[in-house]
Amino acid sequence: MYTNSAEIGYWIGEPFWGKGIATKAIALITKYGFENLGLRRIFAGVFEFNVISMKVLEKNGYQKEGIFKKSVIKNDRIWDEHRYYRVHPDIA
């Protein structure tokens, strides 16, 4: 059974790139999810070309779970999705 698990997603406009906004937002929502919502697991999907987003997740303790080959479409192109996850510290 899938319970106490949630997906996060985020988008930062280009003028705000490189300011640490995504890193801080992911840190805050992850903490909130574990401490206030009782989540055991949080995950996120990233387009294969978005290496910066992968690094932001990794800075926040997320690990790459796998690659879903040719699973998402953006701008009429088919891309791989890199899936990242983090589990509650008490479970890890």
pLDDT score for 85: 98
The CA dihedral of 4, 34, 41, 84, to the nearest 10 degrees, is 140
Burial of 92 (0-12, 13-18, 19+ CB in 10 A): exposed
Compute the average pLDDT of residues 65-71. 97
pLDDT at 2: 74
Q: pLDDT digit string (tens) for 7-66?
A: 999 999 999 999 999 999 999 999 999 999 999 999 999 999 999 999 999 999 999 999
Rounded to the nearest angstrom, the gap between the alpha carbon of residue 87 and the centroid of all alpha carbons in its chain is 12
Q: Which residues contact 18 (CB under 8 A, 6 or more apart)?
A: none
Domain ranges of the chain: 5-87
Q: Using the CB atoms, write b or e for 63-91: b if 16+ within 10 Å.
A: eeeeeeeeeeeeeeeebebbbbbbbbeee
Question: 5-87 is classed in which CATH architecture?
Answer: 3-Layer(aba) Sandwich (3.40)
Which residue is listed with tokens 């490189």? 18
- pLDDT recorded at residue 3: 84
